Structure 1
Amino acid sequence: MIDLRLLREDPDRVRASQRARGEDVDLVDALLSADELRRSSGVRFDELRNEQKSLGKLIPKATPEERTELLKKAEQLKADVKAADAAQDEADAEAKRLLLQLGNVVHEDVPVGGEEDFVVLETHGTIRDFGAEGFEPKDHLELGEALGAIDMERGAKVSGSRFYYLTGVGALLELALVNAAIAQATEAGFIPMLTPALVRPRAMEGTGFLGQAAENVYHLEKDDYYLVGTSEVPLAAYHMDEIIEADKLPLRYAGFSPCFRREAGTYGKDTRGIFRVHQFDKVEMFSYVDPADAEAEHRRLLEWEKQWLTGLELPFQVIDVATGDLGASASRKFDCEAWIPTQGKYRELTSASNCDGFQARRLSVRMREGKKVQPLATLNGTLCAVPRTIVAILENHQLADGSVRVPEMLRPYLGGREVLEPVAK
């Protein structure tokens, strides 16, 4: 959630942020009113409680005649205090409800607009000219099936559409990617983590995934657990309700987990192959930092993602994601999009988000420096979303005979293999 002091002191900035996101601007004024009522209710409760305490001290000293009147007044005060306490709780709950609906305040440099209004910041690598090489590129599914690496047909038979098996070299390729990603993250100072895939509602709500993103979340109603769509959720909640000493920051974790997404609203979109699926594995970087270092850490996460994609020898571009496509928690987000030859365009592979204190306030994760205690900042960055990375590797490194060259960085994790070759049917 945002800092209420910012809302009170600069409501126009929060209104502008909501407008840029394409969200409800009236929510700001509703929250301002609710916050004022919450504070005035608190003042009223304190006044009545103090009066009640003062009256309690007078009764033992009063004459019998005075005591009767004072006891009568005490009964009325007791009822008034109870009513004021209830009103305070109700006002506090309403203010919190509205505050949880408000997205993070967007960074002033974020481009305004929707999904297609991003700004390209950098372009890396060279896009292959398959025509000059004398062959038409195959898509990742055709390649994966020929390699004995991807089985969509049996995935659909067992679990339905958008499910798959990785088999043979496909499974080995995933393990190679995960091990290489964890090795890079560990070398950069991240602590490797294997995280829970099921979390309680507070963890999911605290990271901002039960607002506009709720339609893509799997909920197990019987047990009231949520399946995570990213290890960002359990990593953000790892230090929930804790105070971290400032000299322990930054804290950096690299989480590996299965991820589950309903992909609601994407009917008919990316239905072929494993680019957009309901279950996949991912290595996610997560940082807890001093708020003063949040923007610098955001750039660091991006550099680690660029290092990863460069190591995989993939052509890619870096974009500054527009306001309407940020998600509730991020104030700014950079995506790295890899070139997909058969689609003829760049597609998102990694993402780095600066959430400032938004998640930390919701999850009560604070830092202490001297006597000062305040919310810290959280950031997250995808290092390797496995299926999409496999898509990019297969298509960009394919050879004319249907085999696929293994990027040098991955060869030590694939037993020295230099090429993945088609298997006999």
Structure 2
Amino acid sequence: MSQYGLANGGLRTCDEPRDSVAAHLEFTPPTNGQKDPTHHQTDNNFTRTTAFPSFVPEAPNVANMLDVFDFIVEKGGNPEQIKESQRRRYAPEEVVDEVIALYEDHRKTQYSATQVNTKINEIQKQIGAKKKAKEDASELMAQKIELEKEKKAKIELAGEKDVALKKKIATIGNIVHESVPVHNNEDNNVELRKWAPEGFSVEKRDVLSHHEVLTRLDGYDPERGVKVVGHRGYFLRNWGVFLNQAMINYGLEFLSERGYTALQAPQFMLKEYMAKTAQLEQFDEELYKVVDGDAQNDKYLIATSEQPISAFHADEWIMNKELPIKYAGFSTCYRREAGSHGRDAWGIFRVHQFEKVEQFVLTDPEKSWEAFEDMITVSEDFYKSLGVPYRVAAIVSGALNNAAAKKYDLEAWFPFQGEYKELVSCSNCTDYQSRALEIRFGNKLQTDVKKKYVHALNSTLCATERALCCLLENFQTEDGFTVPEPLRKYLPGAPDFIPFTKELPKDSTSQKAKAKAEKSGKVASAVAGGAAAVTEKLKDLST
């Protein structure tokens, strides 16, 4: 194995991951005639540094989601493309210029550190020669001590600038795909297609809300849930438990039959890895922190199995023949829903704890967009098999999370509210997450001049409690709930129908909605009648 390194500066193998920006930069000297102590090798229009100071500290726990060279024209980068992507996201484009400025500042500081290190090496040689000749080397040793202090200061400064550069890059989202509709309002999401079972009428109906159906099935207890847990707490019971488990089992089997490997994910993660797959704002709005006594490593409860599964292959090198890798992830998920106060407060549609079956795929970059379409098709086929009406929408650029280059939502029909609501989110994150997590692919060759990262994609199959809400509204009858055929074999007794066993309280949601509608109708009728009377009066006056 060949090695590259500065004399007396430590060695690093060329196969080792260069995680820090510090190890990723060339040290191009100022144009003052001085010789650069590093050597650069150019191949296939890419430049790599075959010697760099391994004594420069790496930025801890700050992941690069984008390659720093993507910002630098001289390195083959295209900063204008990143600026255009930022404009599409309705995000500040000036941050790109800030990254470039930080890069240049950091590069100069590192080069300065290499110069000092070179001087130290030269003086060390002189000291050796003096000692060999049995001459006094005290003056040279004093110079070396001062230079060592200077070197230490420059290394610390370079480390600080490395952290600042990485943190700035981490604020920038993935490059938005050219096909994404550009807008900053999700009301302008582009509907791609709709589906409903033959003969099914997609219209608002006078039916029970999903939580009322679950109440009549004696399927959950929200009052005791709130008492024990607090806001949005609940207990599933009886048929609520069995139906939820049926959704989990059917979802896992559905994906397994399509070549996915089932993977039950841990329910919490180290902050180090969570930071490489979750956005900073998610820590405040979504994630629960785990307090573990005097433990030094912070942990967070997962908001989706995508998070731990994305880290499953962290720091690994995957062979081409192994791709694509497809996982059917399952986990309990936890979300604070800090930004959702008052939204979907009924039942179990939007809660702090729920189960989810997730698609997660690692693939060759050249095949990721094909995989993206395949994944949303799998989700569509799942809901078709259950007989659920839905539509698929392309999400506008301003609503994309940082990791996604493009996203589709599958929204299912809820007849009580008379609207489509999100059940599935399908995203192609390209190499945004895999770069941060160092998930590479291809054959390891010494001639490789640029790392190759897999593309990571994720798509909900079913957040089971939320999907169950949709089934309850669509398949209720006056007497109970008609079980979709694929779920029956997972239920005790394999029933095709579950009868209601409880009555609703007098102030139930549907009764309130009906009373409100009747009141609105009476008001509208009175207004119309009043207007007609005024019109007749005016006619009389005119004659």
Report the TM range for the smaller structure's normalisation: over 0.9
Looking at structure 2, the residues matched to 186 and 131 of structure 1 have their Cα atoms a distance apart, in angstroms, of 34
Pair 1:103–1:402, CA change in 2 (3 A):
farther
Q: What is the SS of the residue equivalent to 1:374? A: coil
Q: 1:151 aligns with which of 214, 221, 231?
A: 221
Pair 1:92–1:252, CA change in 2 (3 A):
same
Looking at structure 2, the residues matched to 297 and 50 of structure 1 have their Cα atoms a distance apart, in angstroms, of 50
**Greater CA deviation, 222-231 or 67-76?**
67-76
- Give the 5 Å matches for 1:223-242: 224-242=298-316
Q: Supply the AA of the counterpart residue of 2:361.
A: S
Deviation at 1:225, TM superposition (A): 1.2
User: Which residue number corresponds to residue 118 of structure 2?
Assistant: 50
**Greater CA deviation, 409-418 or 383-392?**
409-418
Q: Is the 8 A contact 1:130 1:136 kept in 2?
A: no
Unpaired runs of at least 5, structure 1 = none
Q: 1:321 aligns with which of 375, 381, 395?
A: 395
**Greater CA deviation, 68-77 or 176-185?**
68-77
User: Which residue number corresponds to residue 323 of structure 2?
Assistant: 249
Pair 1:424–1:391, CA change in 2 (3 A):
closer
TM-score by length of 2: 0.74
| Pairing 1:354–2:354 present | no
Q: Is the 8 A contact 1:101 1:211 kept in 2?
A: no
Query: Residue deviations 1:73-129, cap 9 Å, x none?
Result: 322322222122112111111111112222212111111223222111111115844
Looking at structure 2, the residues matched to 169 and 366 of structure 1 have their Cα atoms a distance apart, in angstroms, of 45
| Pairing 1:272–2:349 present | no
Q: Supply the AA of the counterpart residue of 1:117.
A: N
User: Which residue number corresponds to residue 40 of structure 1?
Assistant: 108
User: Which residue number corresponds to residue 473 of structure 2?
Assistant: 395
Pair 1:130–1:53, CA change in 2 (3 A):
closer
Looking at structure 1, the residues matched to 283 and 146 of structure 2 have their Cα atoms a distance apart, in angstroms, of 48
Q: Supply the AA of the counterpart residue of 1:15.
A: K
Pair 1:421–1:145, CA change in 2 (3 A):
same
Pair 1:200–1:419, CA change in 2 (3 A):
same
User: Which residue number corresponds to residue 124 of structure 1?
Assistant: 195
**Greater CA deviation, 140-149 or 19-28?**
19-28
User: Which residue number corresponds to residue 210 of structure 1?
Assistant: 280
TM-score by length of 1: 0.94
Q: 2:85 aligns with which of 17, 32, 49?
A: 17
**Larger RCO, structures 1/2 (Cα 8 Å, 6+ apart):** 1
Deviation at 1:59, TM superposition (A): 2.1
Deviation at 1:66, TM superposition (A): 7.6
Structure number, greater radius of gyration:
2
User: Which residue number corresponds to residue 406 of structure 1?
Assistant: 483
User: Which residue number corresponds to residue 305 of structure 1?
Assistant: 379
**Greater CA deviation, 250-259 or 212-221?**
212-221
Looking at structure 2, the residues matched to 100 and 323 of structure 1 have their Cα atoms a distance apart, in angstroms, of 18
Q: Supply the AA of the counterpart residue of 2:383.
A: L
Q: What is the SS of the residue equivalent to 1:206? A: coil
- Give the 5 Å matches for 1:51-200: 51-62=119-130, 67-113=137-183, 114-126=185-197, 128-129=200-201, 136-200=206-270
Q: Supply the AA of the counterpart residue of 2:466.
A: R
Q: Among all aligned residue pairs of Structure 1 and Structure 2, give the percentage whose two residues are the same amino acid.
A: 34
Deviation at 1:369, TM superposition (A): 2.4
Pair 1:168–1:212, CA change in 2 (3 A):
closer
Looking at structure 1, the residues matched to 340 and 262 of structure 2 have their Cα atoms a distance apart, in angstroms, of 32
Q: Is the 8 A contact 1:250 1:288 kept in 2?
A: yes
Q: Is the 8 A contact 2:428 2:458 kept in 1?
A: yes
Q: Is the 8 A contact 2:278 2:307 kept in 1?
A: no
- Give the 5 Å matches for 1:355-394: 355-371=429-445, 372=448, 373-394=451-472
Unpaired runs of at least 5, structure 2 = 1-64, 504-543
Q: What is the SS of the residue equivalent to 1:92? A: helix
